[in-house]
Amino acid sequence: MSHFGKSGPPDIRDTYSLLVLNITFRTTADDLFPLFDKYGKVVDVFIPRNRRTGESRGFAFVRYKYADEAQKAVDKLDGRVVDGREIMVQFAKYGPNAERIHKGKTSETSSKMRGRSRSHSPRPRDRDYRKRSRSRSRDRHDREKYRGRERDHRPRSMSHSASPDRHKYRGRERYDEEPCSWSRSYGSASPARHSPSSKRSPSPHRTPNRSESPGGRNCNESSPALKSVSPRGQPALSPSPSPHRSRVDD
């Protein structure tokens, strides 16, 4: 998705990607292109955006053709106020083509440039101040939005005790576009259907959720709370009528 109209990265053979952070959520690649193009030949400008909302994630990747121009852009545009926000320009490292950065002179030059030109940036000491939390704003909105949509059929009486401390942290997913497909369970596919021999558990009514996990679905943050809830407001703690008979196949 380059604003060049080409599909995917144009040519990443000898390009140097710069990571532009702290840009506004309104800033688009078209806004950054003329900015970075003035300091060098910009091959491509790409802004990772949310695949659902389509909003910018607050950072962009500017791909330069030459490293020296990229460095110049880093030195010039790093700390530049764009759209009312001070952007941070630095060399991308975790990109798909981070190898050339590691083997090339880009790494040492970048650190050298940053060491002498960071005095003009009134930004906070270091990036440690932001380490405390990584994501909450847009992810939180999207998460609640999706959660409220899918669980709309669920009564709101679940606020009594549902282990709120575990669903609060869902690990780190940049894109919670669709981590788990619940539709597959609701469709014609059966969890025990992956085995040709149905010697697993012939009980079609209530199978222990222990063996029910095919191993591929780690997204069970809502499972504990998604269990059957009594109309009175008390969750059915025992999914199976006999707790000691957890293993039906045994």
What x-and-dash track marks residues 122-141 binding DNA by CB under 7 A?
A: -----x--xxxxxxxxx--x
Give backbone dihedrals phi and psi of 182, rounded to 5 degrees, phi first. -75, -15
What x-and-dash track marks residues 151-190 binding DNA by CB under 7 A?
A: -----------------------x----------------
In angstroms, rounded to a whole number, what is the distance separating the alpha carbons of residues 148 and 129?
Answer: 32
What x-and-dash track marks residues 189-228 binding DNA by CB under 7 A?
A: ----------------------------------------
Stretch that binds DNA, among 90-98, 115-123, 186-194, 238-246 (CB under 7 A): 90-98
Nearer to DNA, 110 or 207 (CB): 110
Stretch that binds DNA, among 96-104, 183-191, 214-222, 241-249 (CB under 7 A): 96-104
Question: What b-and-e string marks burial along 102-126, b requiring 16 or more CB atoms within 10 Å of the CB?
Answer: eeeebeebbeebbeeeeeeeeeeee
Q: For residues 25-84, which are near DNA according to CB under 7 A?
A: 25, 44, 46, 48, 55, 57-59, 61, 63
Asked if 94 interacts with DNA (CB under 7 A), we say yes
Nearer to DNA, 20 or 225 (CB): 20
Asked if 9 interacts with DNA (CB under 7 A), we say yes
Asked if 111 interacts with DNA (CB under 7 A), we say no
Nearer to DNA, 174 or 245 (CB): 174
Q: How many residues bind DNA (CB under 7 A)?
A: 44
Binding site for DNA (CB under 7 A): 1-2, 7-9, 12, 17, 19, 21-25, 44, 46, 48, 55, 57-59, 61, 63, 85, 88, 90, 92-98, 127, 130-138, 141, 174
